[in-house]
């Protein structure tokens, strides 16, 4: 929050947050910036970037700051609240409550940036002189760039599932105890509530929706109900909902989804995050694609 508000205080109200020469700033800041960039890339192994991390931190900053001030300064003691993890919606919407602090900071940052440009081109006077505005103009330009991405984050996409699915390639079997039917299949994705499986065969399968079935994976027999059957070329995709899980079955699913061992994670061949592609995907998802 200080990083976002400091140039605003100086440009709009004249309060100094940084009193140094431009050469001194470059001497101390530039080597530190390069070193942190190299260290971050080394630790993240190219799977994340400082820019994307800054966007995430910017979105969270107003709310974390409020919590810190409430607890440390105001001594406000609030009970722990469990957030709703099972929220479903088939609509896209914009979370104004989440974005309002960011929109306010973005609004004033744009005003301060415009004032800085006017000062640089001698359109407006500035008490501290034009030389003092250069670093703040660059600072504001960076903040505005980050904030533009940050205010796009509160666009909420449709959520058709109560829990996120995790990709898998586990070999499994479908068991029907009544007909003694056994069908080889493969788990495509799953979580603690259900699974998506695929059957690679051209023969017609004797299954129907709402049928009770057992998904057998690694010795665990998960009681399930078929919710959807989608024929495809060369096989069939089936959606399952788990009806009851004991402790061992639930623990196994957690280790295969939310707590999967790092040694089992697939190695990413394509490293890095393209910020241009991210912006295009956000724009395409919320402004270009029409609702069916």
- pLDDT grade, residue 251 (50/70/90)? very high
Q: Mind listing the pLDDT tens digit for each residue in 220-231?
A: 999 999 999 988
Tokens of 147: 């904030």
For CA atoms 11, 16, 22, 26, give the dihedral sign: negative
Q: How many CB atoms lie within 10 A of CB 1?
A: 15
pLDDT 10s digits, 188-225 = 999 999 999 999 875 566 788 999 999 999 999 999 99
- pLDDT: which is higher, 178 or 112: 112
User: String of b and e for 222-244 (b: at least 16 CB within 10 Å)?
Assistant: bebebeeeeeeeebbebbbebee
Phi, psi of 55 (to 5 degrees): -65, -45
| Greater pLDDT, 112 or 91 | 112
Closest residue by Cα to residue 240 from 173, 193, 273, 170: 193
d(CA 221, CA 182) in angstroms, rounded, equals 13
DSSP assigned state of 285: I
> What pTM did the predictor assign?
0.61
Per the model's pLDDT, the better-predicted residue between 95 and 114 turns out to be 114
| Percent of the chain residues past pLDDT 90, beyond the cut | 36
Classified as helix, coil or strand, 78 is: coil
Sequence-ordered alpha helix ranges (H) in the chain: 2-13, 22-44, 50-72, 96-120, 134-150, 247-256, 275-283
**Span 78-94, pLDDT tens digits:** 555 545 554 556 677 78
Of 152, 196, 166, which is closest to residue 58 (Cα–Cα)? 152
Whether residue 129 has pLDDT greater than 80: no
């Amino acid at each position: 929050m200080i990083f976002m508000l400091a140039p605003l205080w100086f440009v709009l109200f004249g309060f100094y947050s940084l009193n140094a020469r431009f050469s001194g700033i470059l001497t101390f800041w530039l080597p530190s910036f390069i070193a942190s960039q190299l260290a971050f890339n080394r630790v993240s192994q190219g799977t994340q970037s400082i820019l994307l991390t800054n966007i995430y931190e910017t979105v969270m900053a107003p709310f974390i700051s409020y919590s810190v001030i409430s607890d440390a300064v105001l001594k406000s003691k609030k009970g722990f609240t469990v957030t709703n993890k099972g929220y479903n919606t088939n609509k896209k919407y914009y979370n104004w409550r989440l974005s309002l602090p960011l929109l306010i900071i973005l609004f004033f940052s744009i005003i301060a940036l415009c004032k800085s440009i006017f000062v640089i081109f001698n359109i407006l006077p500035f008490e501290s002189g034009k030389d003092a505005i250069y670093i703040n103009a660059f600072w504001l330009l960076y903040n505005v760039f980050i904030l533009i991405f940050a205010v796009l984050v509160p666009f909420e996409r449709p959520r058709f599932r109560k829990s996120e699915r995790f990709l898998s390639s586990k070999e499994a079997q479908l068991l029907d105890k009544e007909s003694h039917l056994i069908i080889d299949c493969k788990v495509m994705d799953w979580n603690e509530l259900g699974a998506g499986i695929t059957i690679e065969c051209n023969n017609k399968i004797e299954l129907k929706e709402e049928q009770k079935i057992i998904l057998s994976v690694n010795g665990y027999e998960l009681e399930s109900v078929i919710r959807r059957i989608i024929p495809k070329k060369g096989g069939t995709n089936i959606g399952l909902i788990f009806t009851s899980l004991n402790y061992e079955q639930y623990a196994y699913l957690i280790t295969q989804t939310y707590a999967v061992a790092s040694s089992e994670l697939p190695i990413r061949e394509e490293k890095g995050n393209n910020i241009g592609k991210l912006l295009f995907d956000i724009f395409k998802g919320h402004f270009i694609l029409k609702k069916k």
